[in-house]
């Protein structure tokens, strides 16, 4: 099981295109369309790497969110196969439930793993945002209200202190995705993932 999760993480992070995210996103399709016809996003997944090579540009913040939505869908799809399949509605419920927690967890865990800097949060596009994001950007979208600072203080620092490993990251990712308390999850779905 652990090897399957590690392989899933590699497949999802690798991506399947070298195009600039600005050329790809936003995608004008629904989660349901992606789940029912995965070929609609073939060639639309950019590589996800968390090394802090540069500060993210303001316009990149939304593009990162689109890529993370695809990653959440991919996680749900791979894990649905491991639990003997889930209905489309259950998979949609899991994507909606896991997207934000998975994004925040991954950015925090990867930051702890790739850098000792205590004033940045690494994003999935070889970039980072500073602790005091409001001073760096005119519009911080979903990272406002001291979220970056709280993530650094409440998740990155403890993960760094614990020396979180790749194995722990993928296991915790699976736990986040397979949330039996996800809103709109059917009784059958709850039983399969519990």
Q: What is the pLDDT of residue 139?
A: 66
Q: How many CB atoms neighbour CB 36 within 10 A?
A: 12
Helix axes 2-14, 60-82, angle to 10 degrees: 150
Q: Is the pLDDT confidence value at 109 over 90? A: yes
Q: Is the pLDDT confidence value at 73 over 60? A: yes
What's the mean pLDDT in 79-88? 92
Element (H, E) at 55: strand 49-55
What's the mean pLDDT in 85-114? 97
Q: What is the pLDDT of residue 192?
A: 94
> pLDDT exceeding 90 applies to what percent of the chain?
85
Q: What is the pLDDT of residue 152?
A: 96
Q: What is the pLDDT of residue 147?
A: 87
104 is in which domain, residue-wise?
Answer: 2-193
Q: What is the pLDDT of residue 136?
A: 72
Within 8 A by CB and 6+ apart from 56, the residues are 64, 123, 125, 127, 128, 129
Task: Using DSSP, state whether 3 is helix, strand or coil.
Answer: helix
- Over residues 132-181, the pLDDT tens digits come to 877 777 665 566 678 899 999 999 999 999 999 999 999 999 999 999 99
Please return the burial class of 23, using the count of CB atoms within 10 Å of its CB with bins 0-12, 13-18 and 19+: exposed
Based on the structure, what is the number of domains in the chain?
Answer: 1
**To 10 degrees, the CA torsion angle through 100, 63, 8, 88?**
60
Average of per-residue pLDDT values in the chain: 93
Q: Is the pLDDT confidence value at 91 over 80? A: yes
What's the mean pLDDT in 78-92? 94
Q: What is the pLDDT of residue 75?
A: 98
Q: What is the pLDDT of residue 51?
A: 95
What's the mean pLDDT in 86-96? 97
CA triple 149-48-167, angle to 5 deg? 80
Alpha-helix residue ranges (DSSP H) falling in 122-186: 133-136, 147-151, 157-162, 166-177
Instruction: Give the pLDDT band (50/70/90) at residue 193.
Output: very high
- Over residues 21-39, the pLDDT tens digits come to 999 999 999 999 999 999 9
CATH number of the domain to which 128 belongs: 1.10.565.10
Q: Is the pLDDT confidence value at 59 over 90? A: no
- Residues facing 122 on adjacent strands: 128
């Amino acid at each position: 099981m652990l090897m399957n999760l590690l392989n899933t993480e590699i497949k999802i992070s690798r991506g399947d295109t070298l195009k600039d995210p600005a050329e790809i996103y936003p995608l004008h399709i629904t989660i349901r369309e992606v789940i029912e016809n995965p070929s609609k996003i073939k060639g639309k997944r950019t590589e996800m790497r968390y090394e802090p090579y540069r500060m993210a540009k303001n316009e990149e913040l939304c593009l990162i969110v689109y890529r993370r939505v695809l990653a959440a869908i991919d996680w749900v799809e791979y894990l649905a196969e491991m639990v003997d399949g889930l209905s489309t509605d259950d998979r949609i419920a899991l994507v909606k439930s896991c997207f934000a927690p998975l994004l925040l967890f991954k950015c925090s865990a990867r930051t702890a793993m790739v850098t000792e800097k205590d004033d940045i949060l690494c994003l999935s596009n070889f970039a980072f945002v500073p602790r005091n994001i409001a001073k760096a950007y005119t519009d911080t979208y979903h990272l406002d209200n001291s979220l970056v600072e709280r993530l650094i203080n409440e998740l990155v620092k403890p993960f760094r202190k614990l020396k979180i490993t790749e194995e722990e990251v993928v296991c915790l990712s699976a736990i986040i995705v397979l949330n039996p308390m996800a809103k709109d999850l059917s009784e059958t779905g709850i039983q399969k993932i519990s």
